[in-house]
Structure 1
Amino acid sequence: MYTVKIIKALAKEKNMSVYELEEQLGFGKNTIYQWSHRTPSVERVRKVADFFGVSLDYLLGRTPEKKINEIDLANIPDGVLTFEGKVIPDDELAIIRHLLRSKSSK
């Protein structure tokens, strides 16, 4: 699986072996290498992605971008965001922004 190659490269960037990574994440020995011929659980792949600070899509070889695309709600024009396929109305978006701002100031 291509994912194993990506993990090996990420580990090398951090000057660690895949075995050290497995130990740090609480995986058994050779767990990651087994992903070459077995499908890993989403939870385990997520743990690796979180450890390296990369997106799941990067780890799975679906995108060349390592970082998760961040969207700053404060910079999004009104009426562009959707939830479950429906545009979030301006008044509700204003409430969401207010809640998030008040939470971050605490």
Structure 2
Amino acid sequence: MDEFENIRRWCREHGISIQELAEKANVSASTIYGWKYKKPSIKNLNKVSKAMHVTTGYVIDNKVHEKRELNDTSAIFTFNGEKIPEEDMKYVRELLKRFSGKKHD
């Protein structure tokens, strides 16, 4: 399965064995090796991705998922399934600026 190949590639690139990664993730190496033939459980996928310091999406498809800035006007932000109005987003941005210690625009 792709997940195993992505993990193996990541381990090679980072000079770590699958056994070492398994120990860091608190799963057995046989669990990770088993992903050659079957899909991982969400629980174990989360453990391994956290040990790798990557998203589960990266483990699944080997792509770095783009992070969008909160000021990206092309993005649609939602809360509880509802689109957040632009006026409310301005307020959220202002609060985040204050909490991050940045000066206001």
The residue number in structure 1 matching 2:11 is 11
CA offsets 1:41-66 (integer angstroms, 9 cap, x no match): 213212322333433333213xx53x
Q: Map 1:1-106; keep pairs closer than 5 Å.
A: 1-61=1-61, 65=63, 67-74=64-71, 76-77=72-73, 80-83=75-78, 84=81, 86=83, 88-105=84-101
Higher relative contact order, chain-length normalized (CA < 8 Å, sep 6+): 2
- The TM-score normalised by the length of structure 1 is 0.76
Q: Aligned AA for 1:68? A: H
Count of residue pairs the alignment pairs up: 100
Percentage identity across paired residues of the two chains: 26
- The TM-score normalised by the length of structure 2 is 0.76
- Matches of 2:75 and 2:39, distance apart in 1: 37
* Mean Cα deviation higher: 41-50 or 19-28: 41-50
Gaps of 5+ in 1: none
8 Å contact from structure 2 (residues 22, 48) kept in 1: no
Moved over 6 A (4+): none
CA distance 1:91–1:49, change in 2 (3 Å): same
* Mean Cα deviation higher: 42-51 or 18-27: 42-51
- Matches of 1:13 and 1:70, distance apart in 2: 23
8 Å contact from structure 1 (residues 54, 68) kept in 2: no
* Mean Cα deviation higher: 19-28 or 41-50: 41-50
8 Å contact from structure 1 (residues 49, 56) kept in 2: yes
Gaps of 5+ in 2: none
Q: Aligned AA for 1:73? A: L
CA RMSD of aligned residues (A): 2.4
